[in-house]
Amino acid sequence: MGEIAQGVVYGLVAEIIVMLIVIVIAKVKNSSLFMIFAASKIFGHGIEYVYKEQRDASKDILKDIESSTTVKLLCMRGRSFIQTDAELSQILEKRNLTIQYLVLDPDSQFVQKRADELNKQNYKQELETNISDLKTQTQGKANVAKRIHDQPPVFRLLILDNRIYFSFFEKNKLGSQLPVFRAKDSSPIYKGLVRYYEYIWGISKKLV
Protein backbone atom coordinates (compact mmCIF):
# COMPACT_ATOMS: atom_id res chain seq x y z
CA MET A 1 0.00 0.00 0.00
CA GLY A 2 1.42 3.41 -1.00
CA GLU A 3 2.03 6.30 1.36
CA ILE A 4 -1.02 8.22 0.13
CA ALA A 5 -3.29 5.20 0.56
CA GLN A 6 -1.86 4.56 4.02
CA GLY A 7 -2.48 8.16 5.01
CA VAL A 8 -6.07 7.94 3.85
CA VAL A 9 -6.67 4.67 5.70
CA TYR A 10 -4.99 5.84 8.93
CA GLY A 11 -6.88 9.12 8.87
CA LEU A 12 -10.14 7.32 8.24
CA VAL A 13 -9.51 4.89 11.11
CA ALA A 14 -8.90 7.82 13.44
CA GLU A 15 -12.16 9.43 12.38
CA ILE A 16 -14.08 6.18 12.87
CA ILE A 17 -12.67 5.87 16.39
CA VAL A 18 -13.89 9.37 17.19
CA MET A 19 -17.30 8.55 15.75
CA LEU A 20 -17.58 5.39 17.83
CA ILE A 21 -16.71 7.31 20.96
CA VAL A 22 -19.38 9.87 20.17
CA ILE A 23 -21.99 7.20 19.45
CA VAL A 24 -21.19 5.40 22.70
CA ILE A 25 -21.51 8.67 24.63
CA ALA A 26 -24.83 9.39 22.94
CA LYS A 27 -26.20 5.94 23.72
CA VAL A 28 -25.14 6.16 27.35
CA LYS A 29 -27.01 9.43 27.59
CA ASN A 30 -30.20 8.09 26.00
CA SER A 31 -29.11 9.04 22.47
CA SER A 32 -29.47 12.74 23.29
CA LEU A 33 -28.53 15.05 20.42
CA PHE A 34 -27.24 17.42 23.06
CA MET A 35 -24.55 14.91 23.97
CA ILE A 36 -23.53 14.55 20.33
CA PHE A 37 -23.19 18.31 20.04
CA ALA A 38 -21.26 18.42 23.31
CA ALA A 39 -18.94 15.68 22.11
CA SER A 40 -18.51 17.61 18.87
CA LYS A 41 -17.15 20.52 20.88
CA ILE A 42 -14.87 18.27 22.92
CA PHE A 43 -13.43 16.17 20.08
CA GLY A 44 -13.70 18.83 17.37
CA HIS A 45 -15.03 16.46 14.70
CA GLY A 46 -17.60 19.07 13.63
CA ILE A 47 -20.87 17.11 13.59
CA GLU A 48 -23.67 19.65 13.49
CA TYR A 49 -26.76 17.48 13.47
CA VAL A 50 -28.04 13.91 13.32
CA TYR A 51 -31.22 13.03 11.40
CA LYS A 52 -33.26 9.90 12.07
CA GLU A 53 -33.18 8.97 8.38
CA GLN A 54 -32.74 10.43 4.90
CA ARG A 55 -36.23 11.88 4.45
CA ASP A 56 -35.69 14.01 7.57
CA ALA A 57 -32.50 15.42 6.05
CA SER A 58 -33.83 16.06 2.53
CA LYS A 59 -34.82 19.71 2.99
CA ASP A 60 -31.45 20.66 4.48
CA ILE A 61 -29.63 18.69 1.78
CA LEU A 62 -31.50 20.55 -0.96
CA LYS A 63 -30.79 23.88 0.73
CA ASP A 64 -27.07 23.12 0.87
CA ILE A 65 -27.08 21.90 -2.73
CA GLU A 66 -28.38 25.32 -3.80
CA SER A 67 -25.18 26.95 -2.56
CA SER A 68 -22.86 24.20 -3.79
CA THR A 69 -21.02 23.85 -7.11
CA THR A 70 -20.35 20.13 -6.74
CA VAL A 71 -22.25 17.06 -5.53
CA LYS A 72 -20.24 13.91 -4.84
CA LEU A 73 -22.11 10.70 -4.04
CA LEU A 74 -20.87 7.39 -2.69
CA CYS A 75 -23.68 4.87 -2.33
CA MET A 76 -24.80 1.35 -3.13
CA ARG A 77 -27.27 2.27 -5.86
CA GLY A 78 -28.07 5.97 -5.72
CA ARG A 79 -31.79 5.39 -6.23
CA SER A 80 -32.79 8.35 -4.05
CA PHE A 81 -30.90 10.67 -6.40
CA ILE A 82 -32.32 9.07 -9.53
CA GLN A 83 -35.97 8.24 -9.01
CA THR A 84 -37.29 7.30 -5.56
CA ASP A 85 -36.99 10.69 -3.87
CA ALA A 86 -38.94 13.29 -5.84
CA GLU A 87 -36.96 16.17 -4.31
CA LEU A 88 -33.43 14.79 -4.30
CA SER A 89 -33.70 13.41 -7.83
CA GLN A 90 -34.14 17.00 -9.04
CA ILE A 91 -30.39 17.57 -8.79
CA LEU A 92 -30.00 15.83 -12.16
CA GLU A 93 -31.75 18.80 -13.77
CA LYS A 94 -29.29 21.33 -12.35
CA ARG A 95 -26.84 22.01 -15.17
CA ASN A 96 -24.76 24.35 -13.01
CA LEU A 97 -23.71 21.46 -10.76
CA THR A 98 -20.79 19.10 -11.25
CA ILE A 99 -22.13 15.72 -10.10
CA GLN A 100 -20.09 12.60 -9.35
CA TYR A 101 -21.79 9.25 -8.82
CA LEU A 102 -19.71 6.49 -7.23
CA VAL A 103 -21.65 3.24 -6.89
CA LEU A 104 -20.77 -0.35 -6.06
CA ASP A 105 -19.90 -2.67 -8.94
CA PRO A 106 -22.68 -5.31 -9.25
CA ASP A 107 -19.94 -7.91 -9.78
CA SER A 108 -18.19 -6.97 -6.54
CA GLN A 109 -17.67 -9.67 -3.93
CA PHE A 110 -19.32 -7.32 -1.44
CA VAL A 111 -22.70 -7.35 -3.18
CA GLN A 112 -23.61 -10.78 -1.86
CA LYS A 113 -22.50 -9.81 1.64
CA ARG A 114 -24.75 -6.77 1.55
CA ALA A 115 -27.57 -8.86 0.08
CA ASP A 116 -27.26 -11.25 3.03
CA GLU A 117 -27.44 -8.32 5.45
CA LEU A 118 -30.65 -7.11 3.81
CA ASN A 119 -32.02 -10.61 3.22
CA LYS A 120 -32.51 -9.79 -0.45
CA GLN A 121 -32.19 -12.59 -2.99
CA ASN A 122 -32.23 -10.41 -6.11
CA TYR A 123 -29.97 -7.64 -4.84
CA LYS A 124 -27.42 -7.92 -7.64
CA GLN A 125 -30.21 -7.60 -10.19
CA GLU A 126 -31.50 -4.51 -8.37
CA LEU A 127 -28.06 -2.93 -8.56
CA GLU A 128 -27.80 -3.70 -12.27
CA THR A 129 -31.24 -2.19 -12.89
CA ASN A 130 -30.40 0.97 -10.97
CA ILE A 131 -27.09 1.39 -12.78
CA SER A 132 -28.95 1.03 -16.07
CA ASP A 133 -31.40 3.73 -14.91
CA LEU A 134 -28.51 5.96 -13.86
CA LYS A 135 -26.90 5.64 -17.27
CA THR A 136 -30.19 6.37 -19.04
CA GLN A 137 -31.13 9.39 -16.96
CA THR A 138 -27.68 10.97 -17.14
CA GLN A 139 -27.09 10.31 -20.82
CA GLY A 140 -25.83 13.43 -22.56
CA LYS A 141 -25.29 15.32 -19.30
CA ALA A 142 -21.71 16.59 -19.52
CA ASN A 143 -21.79 17.75 -15.90
CA VAL A 144 -22.33 14.21 -14.57
CA ALA A 145 -19.51 11.69 -14.08
CA LYS A 146 -20.19 8.07 -13.11
CA ARG A 147 -17.84 5.41 -11.78
CA ILE A 148 -18.16 1.98 -10.14
CA HIS A 149 -15.92 0.63 -7.39
CA ASP A 150 -15.11 -2.65 -5.67
CA GLN A 151 -14.54 -1.52 -2.10
CA PRO A 152 -16.37 -2.57 1.11
CA PRO A 153 -19.62 -0.60 1.52
CA VAL A 154 -18.97 1.15 4.82
CA PHE A 155 -20.29 4.66 4.26
CA ARG A 156 -23.04 6.38 2.36
CA LEU A 157 -21.65 9.82 1.50
CA LEU A 158 -23.05 13.03 0.05
CA ILE A 159 -20.29 15.63 -0.21
CA LEU A 160 -21.09 19.29 -0.94
CA ASP A 161 -18.92 22.41 -0.94
CA ASN A 162 -19.77 23.41 2.59
CA ARG A 163 -21.07 20.23 4.25
CA ILE A 164 -21.08 16.47 4.20
CA TYR A 165 -24.01 14.18 4.93
CA PHE A 166 -23.07 10.59 5.74
CA SER A 167 -24.37 7.33 7.15
CA PHE A 168 -22.90 4.00 8.27
CA PHE A 169 -24.39 0.93 6.61
CA GLU A 170 -26.25 -1.40 8.99
CA LYS A 171 -27.81 -4.83 8.77
CA ASN A 172 -31.48 -4.98 7.76
CA LYS A 173 -31.61 -1.29 6.81
CA LEU A 174 -31.62 0.29 3.37
CA GLY A 175 -29.48 3.37 2.85
CA SER A 176 -32.48 5.70 2.98
CA GLN A 177 -33.44 4.28 6.39
CA LEU A 178 -30.11 5.00 8.08
CA PRO A 179 -29.40 7.86 10.51
CA VAL A 180 -27.74 10.75 8.67
CA PHE A 181 -24.89 12.74 10.18
CA ARG A 182 -24.15 16.29 9.00
CA ALA A 183 -20.74 17.93 9.36
CA LYS A 184 -19.29 21.23 8.17
CA ASP A 185 -16.45 21.59 5.67
CA SER A 186 -13.98 22.93 8.24
CA SER A 187 -14.25 19.78 10.36
CA PRO A 188 -11.79 16.87 10.51
CA ILE A 189 -14.54 14.37 9.67
CA TYR A 190 -15.39 16.30 6.46
CA LYS A 191 -11.75 16.46 5.39
CA GLY A 192 -11.11 12.82 6.25
CA LEU A 193 -14.14 11.49 4.38
CA VAL A 194 -13.42 13.70 1.35
CA ARG A 195 -9.92 12.18 1.20
CA TYR A 196 -11.48 8.71 1.44
CA TYR A 197 -13.91 9.53 -1.38
CA GLU A 198 -11.18 10.88 -3.63
CA TYR A 199 -9.08 7.76 -3.02
CA ILE A 200 -11.96 5.43 -3.97
CA TRP A 201 -12.78 7.61 -7.00
CA GLY A 202 -9.18 7.38 -8.13
CA ILE A 203 -9.10 3.57 -8.13
CA SER A 204 -12.63 3.07 -9.50
CA LYS A 205 -13.67 2.32 -13.08
CA LYS A 206 -15.56 4.61 -15.44
CA LEU A 207 -19.18 3.57 -15.93
CA VAL A 208 -19.93 3.39 -19.62
For each of the chain's 208 residues, which pLDDT tens digit applies?
454 444 454 455 545 545 554 454 444 334 444 444 444 444 455 788 888 888 888 889 888 988 899 999 998 866 666 554 445 556 666 667 898 999 988 888 888 888 777 777 888 888 888 888 888 888 888 888 999 998 888 888 999 999 999 988 777 677 677 888 999 999 888 988 899 999 999 999 998 7
Residue among 61, 202, 71 at smallest CA distance from 143:
71
Please give the pLDDT value at position 28.
38
User: pTM of the full predicted structure?
Assistant: 0.75
